[in-house]
Chain A
Amino acid sequence: NAGVTQTPKFQVLKTGQSMTLQCAQDMNHEYMSWYRQDPGMGLRLIHYSVGAGITDQGEVPNGYNVSRSTTEDFPLRLLSAAPSQTSVYFCASSYYLGTQETQYFGPGTRLLVL
């Protein structure tokens, strides 16, 4: 049971390039989310999914796309990278017991946009 895995661990992009951050979970969780973490700003929700085929925007969705074709995978796409997207990106999967959410985070992808 690997939990939540993310690839790559580190990436350098030039402005305008595109890339996909991969996220996979093997816990059969329906809920998955993408966050970005910036110094002094905590974790901010980018996009989330409540199940295969269903996605929605979070707090900071601009510049990012997601899709959820399977329960296991939830990739995050940057269509045209900008320096403002330099950040650490965390994927999480979670389950709910009633209103109580338990989230499991991946190890993160550190992205530098030049």
Chain B
Amino acid sequence: QQQVKQSPQSLIVQKGGISIINCAYENTAFDYFPWYQQFPGKGPALLIAIRPDVSEKKEGRFTISFNKSAKQFSLHIMDSQPGDSATYFCAAPGSGSARQLTFGSGTQLTVLP
């Protein structure tokens, strides 16, 4: 069964700083790695995703970096804003024929004004 390890558990960053969240996975038959953002009292929402035919994907201030050989991927939030304060989850597909996503344990990000 897929295991996804996410770190850190919590992160405090000053406004304008860079937030970095890391994830490591074990094995997957499919290459698709999404990040979800969740605000308090809301369901998770897809933020950005990468297919590792590229090592990096950027959408605005959000960037995913992927290291296939190390089985690791990370989310970078540039110029972090107080509105980015939320919980972030990485996810990876299951191994074998299962396509269902396995989620990391989440990172609670607080951006101080």
On whether the two chains bind one another, the answer is yes
Interface residues of A (CB under 8 A from B): 4, 33, 35, 40-45, 48, 58-59, 90, 92, 96, 99-108
Q: Are B43 and A48 in contact (CB under 8 A)?
A: no
Q: How large is the interface on B (under 10, 10 to 19, 20 to 34, 35 or more residues)?
A: 20 to 34
Nearest residue (CB) in A for B44 is: A105
Q: Is B30 an interface residue (CB 8 A)?
A: yes
Q: What is the predominant secondary structure among interface residues of chain A facing chain B?
A: strand
| B101 CB → nearest A CB, Å | 7
Residues of chain B in range 39-74 having any CB-CB distance to chain A below 8 Å:
41-46, 49, 51
Q: What is the predominant secondary structure among interface residues of chain B facing chain A?
A: loop
| Known A40-B105, A105-B36, A107-B41; 13 more pairs at CB < 8 Å | A33-B100, A42-B106, A44-B103, A90-B43, A99-B31, A99-B32, A99-B99, A101-B34, A102-B46, A102-B49, A105-B43, A108-B42, A108-B43
**With A99-B32, A99-B93, A100-B51 as contacts: A107 and B101 at CB distance below 8 Å:** no
A-B CB contact pairs (8 Å), 14 listed: A40-B9, A42-B4, A42-B89, A42-B104, A48-B100, A90-B44, A99-B31, A99-B93, A100-B32, A101-B34, A102-B46, A107-B43, A108-B42, A108-B43
